Structure 1
């Protein structure tokens, strides 16, 4: 195993028992000796500022209907300008109780029943299911490795006729690629040539781990890109508040925004008041905590990359963003890499869900000690398999 750094952070090293806490991640293997390293949900305690803000709201004792706080809208606008030099108007922001419903709303509001959707493949499963649920044709644009980075192929021959919407993901999930400006411009040019609206899932934009990489919102490229964009964002992955449900779509084009809101009406509920409270506290006071989390995740990332690439049969390109490792197990001589590692005591996300059963996805947003235990189990399993193979030879 890779010698671990002596750099520790007691805030993120602390053990928090999540069993019995209504955690989907941990309930999956409750009662089994399997470490859950699958769904994109971290094991880190949220910033104290979020907990304090929620306590203050709960202590008030009334939870009636609410609306988006003006202060939250102002924080988002300021954040987009400060981090990305992206000017956002207040009316562009449409609040949502989750990012996945935003993907589905984009499909149903942009495409009529004869128009299709395109998305990268492999990709986060709701991209594909959103087209299926809406009964829209789906075109898959292969995600291929280029210079150790996963990039979406911009091949118009892969598009079905009457494709109208491109579902894009940056940073890429899975794969962790953080798109450079010229690569984003190529996507924008492709969208322009094919007359596609681009729904850009940028939920992991705060989790940039590779030095020198910087997130660039697709809509910030140009006015033309802005006018054909729907950008989906949330503090949920960044601050581990996914269970509260506070997300947003930023839609500069008034016609796209009107159709999106009309499709949402009466079906998608408003964001609940506690989610607004948590989101505002996160953006207002969460940066010091986020800085420490990023340092911790970078250490975990280095450990994962070194350990996986030292194991027989497995490979892992550098992870630029997200806390998710997309592990290539193509050479692993088993029918199902997911089941193989599950039997070894590590519960990963099956690559089949994303579009390639020869891969698995590992969530390393956990205590370093937990990560080392999981990697140790994986190493033991693949080494035993390699020894079996050598004995047969």
Structure 2
């Protein structure tokens, strides 16, 4: 059984998270949890390695059937095995969809702040990025329908992130219905990054936007993976659900020699995650929800000038540090003076230089250490 309090040394293992900075920096940036993968996943990989052939991989029927079953049991979403397209990541997936379905000069709506791959996607294909900011309230982040309607009126597609990264927002059914109505009115494609869909707190239930109606399903590319929930992102496995056959065929053809086949061990790990690691997932969710609550309490008591809207999902916190007047920006300040590496707010949109994103998917002792380093940096100032 996994001990989520245990700290594992990750330096020297090829970890992107732990290789970016010198050894005296505590990394709390990229969306990669500091927990071991579920034993069931490790065992499945070990078992697969008993067979010495590691050629190109293809998803077995068992994995397709498992995803179909999961969509039905979790979301009452009836899909077929043919609707699933396996990918080496969600990011290649939404870029494939943009390449396949849009033309240079078309408008693309994104809701900001949003993580950098989504923010930058329009620029890869000569699209016009139309940003619609989410607004913080005491109860969470909300979307303003008027600006969204105006943006969609001059766009061919919406690139949605739900649950949202970095705010941790979970879109409600009513909000999703407003989005789908606007997309239908403007004949806009919906590309929905739902990679954090299993990481919801406080009893919330994820709603895939494609489940709202047959019309919505017919214009939606949904992107999911086990990678964030089960901390297996390095195994490079994800999948798209595309129920419109024409869109699915155009989507699959858009690989264009740039998107490779899926990691054969990642396919085994994904099957093991969905089939056998439910207990691990539930314990992990309880742990990171407690971390979220601890972080919120500590920020409020130790750093009252920082505004934090408690995340509804993900293991990421979005901290508004604008009132602290940290120079040159909060990320650089805490890196230099506190030796702790957060994600810079400017990566999530030009208007967010006064923010940082904090990864609280880690043992409590590391989270506490990060807060202590922030306090030390401010005390030195």
**TM-score over 0.5 for the alignment?**
yes
1:334-387 CA distances to partner (integer Å, 9 max, x unpaired)? Answer: 2300111112121000000001111100000111011011111112333554xx
- Equivalent in 360, 374, 377 of residue 364 of structure 1: 360
Q: Distance in 2 between matches of 1:215 and 1:157?
A: 24
1:183 aligned counterpart, secondary structure: helix
Q: Which residue in the other structure is 2:273 paired with?
A: 282
Q: Given that residues 139 and 158 in structure 1 are in contact (C-alpha distance below 8 angstroms), is that contact kept between their aligned partners in structure 2?
A: no
Q: CA RMSD in A?
A: 1.5
2:185 aligned counterpart, secondary structure: helix
Q: Which residue in the other structure is 2:260 paired with?
A: 269
Q: Distance in 1 between matches of 2:18 and 2:148?
A: 42
Structure 2 unaligned regions, length at least 5: none
- Equivalent in 165, 168, 180 of residue 172 of structure 2: 180
Matched residues, number? 375
Q: Given that residues 344 and 355 in structure 2 are in contact (C-alpha distance below 8 angstroms), is that contact kept between their aligned partners in structure 1?
A: yes
Q: Given that residues 313 and 382 in structure 1 are in contact (C-alpha distance below 8 angstroms), is that contact kept between their aligned partners in structure 2?
A: no
Q: CA deviation at 1:161?
A: 6.8
Q: Given that residues 244 and 274 in structure 1 are in contact (C-alpha distance below 8 angstroms), is that contact kept between their aligned partners in structure 2?
A: yes
Q: Distance in 1 between matches of 2:234 and 2:134?
A: 30
Q: CA deviation at 1:312?
A: 3.4
- Equivalent in 324, 332, 346 of residue 352 of structure 1: 346
Q: Which residue in the other structure is 2:40 paired with?
A: 49
Q: Which residue in the other structure is 2:17 paired with?
A: 25
Q: Where does structure 1 differ by over 2 angstroms across 4 or more consecutive aligned residues? A: 151-154, 156-162, 379-385
Q: CA deviation at 1:263?
A: 0.7
Q: Which residue in the other structure is 1:374 paired with?
A: 370
Q: Given that residues 153 and 186 in structure 2 are in contact (C-alpha distance below 8 angstroms), is that contact kept between their aligned partners in structure 1?
A: no
Q: CA deviation at 1:59?
A: 2.2
Q: Which residue in the other structure is 1:196 paired with?
A: 188
- C-alpha change, 1:163 and 1:17, in structure 2 (3 Å) is same
Q: Given that residues 13 and 367 in structure 1 are in contact (C-alpha distance below 8 angstroms), is that contact kept between their aligned partners in structure 2?
A: yes
- C-alpha change, 1:183 and 1:146, in structure 2 (3 Å) is farther
Q: Distance in 1 between matches of 2:175 and 2:153?
A: 24
Q: Which residue in the other structure is 1:105 paired with?
A: 96
1:71 aligned counterpart, secondary structure: helix
Q: Which residue in the other structure is 1:391 paired with?
A: none
Per the normalisation by structure 1, the TM-score is 0.92
Q: Which residue in the other structure is 1:389 paired with?
A: none
Q: Given that residues 312 and 383 in structure 1 are in contact (C-alpha distance below 8 angstroms), is that contact kept between their aligned partners in structure 2?
A: no
Q: CA deviation at 1:267?
A: 2.5
Q: Distance in 2 between matches of 1:337 and 1:308?
A: 15
Structure 1 unaligned regions, length at least 5: 1-8, 386-393
Q: Which residue in the other structure is 2:155 paired with?
A: 163
1:131 equivalent to 2:122? Answer yes
Q: Which residue in the other structure is 2:330 paired with?
A: 337
Report which stretch shifted further, 37-46 or 220-229. 220-229
Q: Distance in 1 between matches of 2:130 and 2:102?
A: 13
Per the normalisation by structure 2, the TM-score is 0.95
1:150 aligned counterpart, secondary structure: strand
Q: CA deviation at 1:146?
A: 3.5
Q: Given that residues 138 and 160 in structure 1 are in contact (C-alpha distance below 8 angstroms), is that contact kept between their aligned partners in structure 2?
A: no
1:152 equivalent to 2:119? Answer no
Q: Distance in 1 between matches of 2:148 and 2:17?
A: 38
- Equivalent in 205, 223, 229 of residue 220 of structure 2: 229
Q: Distance in 1 between matches of 2:12 and 2:237?
A: 24
